[in-house]
Every structure is written in C-alpha cells, then in structure tokens.
C-alpha cells in the first residue's frame, strides 16, 4: 500500500496506482534474451558448400582420394569399390599407414548424411586425418 499526502491536510490518502517500473525492467530483459537466443535456435538455413576461397593446404606426395559419386558409389583413387570391402582396399592402398591423409570428395548432389556415413567409415578404420575437397572459387563469388 502506498500513501499520498494531500496538500491541505497532513492526512495520508490511499494510492491505488500500480508501480510498473519493475515490470518494464523484467520485460526488457526477457526481450533481450529472446533476441539473442532466437537466431541461435534456427537451423533451417540452406547451405551450398561445394566451393571454397580458402588457401589450399599443401598436398602429400601421394594423396589418397576417396570419391563419393552421385549414385552413392565409392571409389578410392580411380578404382571403384564396394562399401563392404572399402576398409580393406583403403588399408591396401595406404599400406595400413593410419597417419595417411585421406582426401574426401563428394558430388554436389550427395546427401550430407551419406557424406557423414563415409567419413564415419574412414574414421572407424582408424584414419584420423580426413580433409574435404572442393572447387576453388574466385573471391567474392
């Protein structure tokens, strides 16, 4: 309860007005929280990732290319291989050297989940150095 002093007498009158300042402060804080959190919660952005303007990293003398084609078939170098014998073929080509860098390239039409499945297959074989290959684009494109 709040009171108000009348000008003529020393009596306190009852004041029934609501103090809205704390309410406005809370609402502004909530507004800022939602403004910051809302862009972080959206993941429905379409992404086209085939080109890169980053400086290419130096290649090994004999790089190992793994290719995932649009029909989801796999190739190591220029040799097509099935997923069931993929790990054995990869170990044969790299002489079972798990430190060999594997360059993974995929067709633009390949589903991201399929690309991740091939990356998991390579990592499951013990190869930790996996690099994605893309087309070099001119800056500003």
Taking only the tens place, the pLDDT of each residue in 79-138 is: 888 888 888 888 888 888 888 888 888 888 888 888 888 889 888 888 888 888 776 665
In the three-class reduction of DSSP (H, G, I as helix; E, B as strand; rest coil), residue 36 is classed as helix
Domain ranges (residues) in the chain: 62-131
Taking only the tens place, the pLDDT of each residue in 35-88 is: 888 777 654 445 455 666 666 666 556 778 888 888 888 888 888 888 888 888
User: From CA 75, how far away is CA 81, in angstroms rounded?
Assistant: 5
Task: Please tell me what DSSP assigns to residue 135.
Answer: E
For residue 49, the number of C-alpha atoms closer than 13 Å in the C-beta half-sphere is 12
Tokens of 127: 């190869």
For the question of whether the overall pTM of this predicted structure is more than 0.75, the answer is no
Tokens of 134: 């893309």
Domain 62-131, CATH 3.30.420.270 — does that match? yes
Q: What is the pLDDT of residue 17?
A: 79
């Amino acid at each position: 309860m709040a009171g108000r002093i009348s000008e003529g007498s020393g009596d306190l009158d009852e004041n029934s007005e609501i103090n809205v300042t704390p309410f406005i402060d809370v609402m502004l804080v909530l507004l800022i929280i939602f403004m910051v959190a809302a862009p972080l919660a959206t993941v429905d952005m379409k992404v086209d990732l085939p080109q890169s303007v980053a400086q290419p990293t130096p290649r090994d003398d004999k790089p190992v290319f793994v290719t995932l084609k649009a029909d989801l078939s796999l190739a190591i170098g220029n040799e097509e291989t099935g997923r069931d014998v993929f790990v054995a073929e990869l170990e044969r080509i790299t002489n079972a050297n798990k430190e060999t860098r594997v360059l993974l390239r995929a067709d633009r039409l390949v589903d991201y989940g399929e690309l991740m499945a091939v990356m998991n297959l390579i990592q499951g074989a013990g190869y930790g150095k996996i690099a994605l290959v893309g087309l070099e684009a001119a800056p500003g494109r």
